[in-house]
Chains A and B, each alone.
Chain A
Amino acid sequence: MKAPQRPMSPFMIGPYYKPQMTSLMSITHRASGVFLSIVGTPLLLWFLIAVASGPESYDAMLTCVGGWLGTLAVVTSILCLSFHLFNGIRHLVWDTGRALDIKTAYTAGWLVLIGTVVLTAVLLGVML
């Protein structure tokens, strides 16, 4: 027997549901967290190991990080860190039961995006 074609519940992301800042920033929070977990923290560890292992390892690490793949990893990590930091504060405020109305959620969302751009620009300006 063929299964009846029942309507599916609307997914937050996809053609079924209008993209909204709240849902997009929610999934970006997860994505940036995953990126920081599997690329960002290893970069930090790599830095610590390179410093502890002596000048040759340190210079080798800097050469690697200076390449296109290393630069991409560092720039994306800084971007993810800035976003996850500010959007994380937004989530912590929500967890206290405050700022949950749509207008404030959007205002805070824009503040997060502005903060992300500023902190990313400042850190990359210092590092590059």
Chain B
Amino acid sequence: MSMRNPLATARGRGSAKSGVHHWYAQRASAVFLLVLIGWLVFAIFHLAGADHATSARFIAQPVNAAFLILLVVTSLYHAMLGLQVVIEDYVHHPVLEVVLHFVTRAGAFFGMALGIIHVLKLALGA
């Protein structure tokens, strides 16, 4: 048994300031996605077998455009957090791990930008 004060052992090992943030963000985005996937099921019913004009008109409606932007952003955010954990757990090569973390984040943000701009293009009639 150590006679050291527990605080002395804990010091210098970094703080737990953001310890639950990742865990919480993963769950919060999951709850948000329950609603958004519910909307996606409705959209699939509406757009299955639809021609271009029907799809374009559907996405151009403000409420649908809002749901789509939220769906793209939230699902890619949730995916980014999930892939991060998978990489942390299974990739033990230090360089490859850093590269994969970077690619995951870059890909998620790139996808968000791509999705938002194309939905806005339809919604704003450009």
Check A30 for interface membership: any CB of B closer than 8 A. yes
Contact at A41–B56, with CB atoms within 8 Å?
A: no
Does more than half of chain A's interface fall in helix, strand or loop, or is it mixed?
A: helix
Distance, CA A81 to CA B40, complexed state (A): 11
Check A19 for interface membership: any CB of B closer than 8 A. no
Chain B residues contacting A92 (CB-CB under 8 Å) are: 27, 30-31
Count of A residues near B, CB < 8 Å?
30
**CB-CB nearest 6 A-B residue pairs:** A37-B79, A52-B118, A58-B52, A55-B52, A126-B48, A48-B118
Contact at B37–A81, with CB atoms within 8 Å?
A: yes
Chain A residues contacting B68 (CB-CB under 8 Å) are: 48
Interface centre among A34, A49, A51, A58 (most CB of B within 10 A): A51
Whether A41 contacts B114 in the complex (CB less than 8 A), given A58-B55, A92-B30, comes out as: no
Interface on A for B, CB 8 Å cutoff?
30, 33-34, 36-37, 40-42, 44-45, 48-49, 51-55, 58-59, 81, 85, 88-89, 91-92, 95, 119, 123, 126-127
Chain B residues contacting A81 (CB-CB under 8 Å) are: 37
Whether A44 contacts B44 in the complex (CB less than 8 A), given A51-B122, A54-B52, A58-B55, comes out as: no
Chain A residues contacting B44 (CB-CB under 8 Å) are: 123, 126-127
